[in-house]
Amino acid sequence: MSQPLKVAVAGLGTVGSGTVGLLEANAALLERRAGRTIVVSAVADLDRRDRGFSVDGYAWYEDAVAMAKEADVDVVVELIGGSEGAARAVCEAAIAAGRHVVTANKALIAHHGMELAIAAEAAGVTLAYEAAVGGGIPIIKGLREGLVGNNHRRIYGILNGTCNYILTTMQASGREFGEVLAEAQALGYAEADPSFDVDGIDTAHKLAILCTVAFGCTLDFDSIHVEGIRHVSSVDIAFAEELGYRIKLLGIAALTDNGVERRVHPCMVPLSAPIAHVEGVFNAVVADGDFVDRVVMEGRGAGERPTASAVVADIVDIARGQRVPVFAVPASRLEKLPAAAMSGHRGAYYVRLMVLDRPGVFADVAGVLRDHHVSMEAVLQRARAPDEPVPVVMTTHDTEEAAMVGSLEEIAAMAACVEPPRMIRIEPF
């Protein structure tokens, strides 16, 4: 009989408690599947409050870094969160002590994954992070193992359940962003400070990781173009529906002739695309492979149980003795590919203007677009009383981002334009 795999858990918040709970509840199942017993030997947290399970049988630490260095364990599970401070120190200490590391920390991997991977590979230990992207969706294993025989040119997805819940609810109810955000906070889907979610940072962390695993390139969070959903209005969502689209916050990475394009922003997605119908707090990731074609994975992207499921999957891999490179290839062999500038992106655009309904205004707008070589595809206008603001919606043919941005800056300066133009990119999935 193999020796038990001894696990230490740093951080007994929602995911940490869920992980311990899963390891206890499904202990017999995990032993059969892993071929050895998996036991929690130590835990670290600042608070000994009741979490629905007894901690009496575990070595208790208030100092998680000390636990990573000293505890008699094989694996340290970091569930503290944050890209710096204790979370980073725990992982570094565990690797230095020759212990495997499992984490759900997307910010840590996005910012410091290269250094941690190099250290783990040098130490001969595993650095696993399935739970960092997509919650319960096994997308890292999917890319790194199931789709290992494919070249990928593009990967994209809905990577933040909070934003998807907000946009789905706005679409269904016709309510505005602020009201739906408050509801999401009351339901526990959004944090008291929702900035990381609604401003796109959380999605960007996950996209940085997916890009590296899919393309074999070095992590490059700073090159990601990031926009959130604060400016999306119920008017935009209604027009999107009329035009045959849904608005989704997407993370998109693609290999282009100009380098790696990495972008996070709201998108108009055709109703015919599977990802358009992923609703509520669910996430979805789409990978395009040269042999497998298109693979879509959908599931709960956060929460205690789905995330704990992904954490435990990594622990079981370690118990089985399965080893794969951290990012599908050794960290030292990741390529430093050039980043494609967002200004060079080409695509179609949705534009909404609020302008005074006066003679000649639309001709002036058309003239600006002509001067910037932007070609309109369709125009929608809602009639109102003269001299009152009226929404004018346009879709364009494919054009360069720099031209689109330049034309909108010029239109915004027009006296008849009563609020900043709103632009949402159209994705032809």
Residues annotated as part of the active site: 206
Cβ-contact 421, 412 below 8 angstroms: yes
Cβ-contact 315, 102 below 8 angstroms: yes
Distance CA 261, CA 251 (A): 11
List, in sequence order, every beta strand (DSSP E) within 55-210: 59-61, 75-78, 100-103, 127-128, 152-158
Q: Is the dihedral of CA 170, 106, 315, 321 positive or negative?
A: positive
Q: How many CB atoms lie within 10 A of CB 86?
A: 20
DSSP letters spanning 322-370: ----TTSS-GGG-B-PPBPPGGG-EEEEEEEEEEE--TTHHHHHHHHHH
Instruction: State the Cα angle at 295 between 161 and 301, rounded to 5°.
Output: 15
Distance CA 202, CA 164 (A): 13
Structure tokens at 121: 């590979």
Distance CA 121, CA 115 (A): 10
Distance CA 396, CA 398 (A): 6
**The residue type at 370:** R
Distance CA 242, CA 418 (A): 24
DSSP letters spanning 381-418: E---STTSEEEEEEEE-SEEHHHHHHHHHHHHTSTTB-
